[in-house]
A = this chain, B = another copy of it.
Amino acid sequence: MIAHETRVRARYAETDQMGVVYYANYFVWMEVGRNELCRANGMRYRDMEAADGVRLAVAEATCRYSFPAHYDEEVTIKAWITEANSRMVRFGYEISSAETGRKLVTGETKHIFCNREMKPAKLPAKYYPLFGIK
């Protein structure tokens, strides 16, 4: 799975009274980024959930903020896989201004593969290629 870029525009709802995008909302954008990364690689997360009961439970999430996004600014969310095995997957993210190219934030999330009951479970082998697992 190679890196993928998605674009979103900052919503009024996502700003706070400091006049910039509220810090927790970058994690929502990361979710958009990893969802579209999967789609671009031929897999929809919703299908993986529905067909095989595979769920990704978030174990860690980090964001480093360099520069804030502003209302109505279009941003580019770059997402990619940094590490994966049958038990877990790590995604990396870089969010930058689509208008100026300036880097806004970088982030990572780590997810544990779980079954429908949200218990840790090995990823079905058919998904190995998607995540680059050998």
Instruction: Name A residues whose Cβ lies closer than 8 Å to a Cβ of B.
Output: 11-13, 15-20, 22-25, 27-28, 31-32, 35, 44-46, 55, 57-65, 68, 70-72, 109, 118
The one of B12, B63, B70 in contact with A61, judged by C-beta atoms closer than 8 angstroms, is: B63
Copies of this chain: 4
Alpha-carbon gap, A56 to B69, bound state (A): 16
- By the criterion CB–CB under 8 Å, are B61 and A18 in contact? no
Q: Which residues from chain B contact A65 at a C-beta distance below 8 Å?
A: 57-61
Main secondary structure of the interface of A (DSSP, over half): mixed
Contact A28:B24 (CB < 8 A) given known A65-B58, A72-B46: yes
The one of B23, B35, B61 in contact with A58, judged by C-beta atoms closer than 8 angstroms, is: B23
Alpha-carbon gap, A35 to B13, bound state (A): 12
Task: Choose among A17, A20, A70, A72 the residue with the greatest number of B CB atoms under 10 Å from its CB.
Answer: A17
